[in-house]
Amino acid sequence: GLPQPASDDGLYRQLGGREGISAIVEEMLVRLVEDERIAHHFAQTDIIQLHERLVEQFCVEAGGPCTYRGLSMEDAHIGLDLTEADFNALVEDLVDAMEALEVPTRAQNRLLRRLAPMRPQIIHR
């Protein structure tokens, strides 16, 4: 499909564009697969493909010129029975990743604010 239009690509630029987002997702996944609280959920997951999907998704959420090719958040997490604690652990790994890459706090908060509303679509599924 065509890239979804970027109404406001300010956040996309603050995150360093596609390259910056790719680095953020990679740093997050490195932490995630080592995170004893939640690593077990990803034991069967193709991490390379998950990286691709997350980059597309964060890019779209940040207003970048990307297309998300993955499942809906409901369908992606169905049967995993994720809890609020699981969700918070992933967010913590994402924040640690952004801190490590020195993403400005304002940009971190803007991205988190875009992801937070997905929580009810992800937990207890």
- Interface with ligand HEM (CB under 6 A): 38, 41-42, 44-45, 50, 53-54, 57, 70-71, 76-77, 80, 82, 86-87, 90, 115, 118, 122
Return the residue nearest ligand HEM (CB atom).
70
Query: In the bound complex, what is the minimum distance in angstroms from residue 36's beta carbon to ligand HEM?
Result: 12
Indicate the residue type of 97: A
Closer to ligand HEM by Cβ: residue 101 or 115:
115
Query: In the bound complex, what is the minimum distance in angstroms from residue 52's beta carbon to ligand HEM?
Result: 9
Look at residues 116, 124, 112 and name the one whose alpha carbon lies nearest to residue 80: 124
What is residue 31's three-state secondary structure?
helix
Query: In the bound complex, what is the minimum distance in angstroms from residue 11's beta carbon to ligand HEM?
Result: 15
Closer to ligand HEM by Cβ: residue 20 or 95:
95
What distance in Å separates the CA atoms of residue 64 and residue 80, rounded to the nearest whole number? 29
What distance in Å separates the CA atoms of residue 30 and residue 50, rounded to the nearest whole number? 12
Helix and strand counts by DSSP (H, E) for the chain: 7, 0
Q: With contact defined as beta carbons under 8 Å apart, do 83 and 42 qualify?
A: no
Closer to ligand HEM by Cβ: residue 20 or 61:
61
